[in-house]
Amino acid sequence: MNKIKERLDKEFQSRNKHNELSYDKPDPLLVASRYDDEYVILLCALFAYGKASLIVKFLDSLDFSLLDASDKKIDKELDSFYYRFQNSEDIKTIFKTFKKLKKTSSLNEIFNLGYKKNNSILEGLDFLIKKIHEVADYKSQGFTFLVSNPLKRDKNGQIKEVGNAPYKRWNMFLRWMVREDELDLGLWKGIDKKDLILPLDTHTFNVSKKLGLLDRKTYDLKSALLITEKLRLFDEKDPIKYDFSLYRIGQEKIY
């Protein structure tokens, strides 16, 4: 474990720089970091699936000022937009939903209402996801994929570790908003970075197995939590600082 820690610490030091975000090394944070609006930043995170260069290209094409526009203008401007699983109606709906939410409260406040239950990131996520669906009052496969379903619970009402997806895009958004360094934005208050969960994607999943941080074969929330526990051995107060390094190691195939 000491060798793994040394390698990850070295990677963190070398990659915690603004120049890690560029069109040559695309990442959705490249676009998100231009804004200080939590709703714009969440849009960047939710659309962050697929090839990184195509994610950045799509995000660059969006006019985020539409979050303050009329529904009529949103309908007109986004009529021909689509992205992978989302058609134009899905994209229009997420913009209209965020516009409504933005007028009443901050995402930070909504998240904290759930998070305050035992400082639980998962309860915070579940509360916020349910709120978005409630305000949207809209159902489609593409929209549900974009926002995610509320987390599955057992018969006692506890969030399941096995049987839930890793919620990668949401945990990445939280990393951006809670942590603050040369990459992450640190715009949210009231959340301790020690509680964050690894935004597990296929890159970090495969790298974690190769490095010995995970001996499980299932790509799910349980695996994300297990790797996070291992990373806490390296930095108890800020375990997810290693996420970007793990991701880049996998993306660049240098493990």
Q: Read off the pLDDT of residues 142-188 as tens digits, 9 standing for 90 and up.
A: 999 999 999 999 999 999 999 999 999 999 999 999 999 999 999 99
CA distance 116 to 254: 39
pTM of the model: 0.97
Q: Which residues contact 116 (CB under 8 A, 6 or more apart)?
A: none
Give the distance from CA 162 to its chain's centroid: 20
pLDDT at 250: 86
pLDDT at 85: 97
CA distance 193 to 178: 6
Q: How many CB atoms lie within 10 A of CB 229?
A: 12
pLDDT, mean of residues 75-90: 97
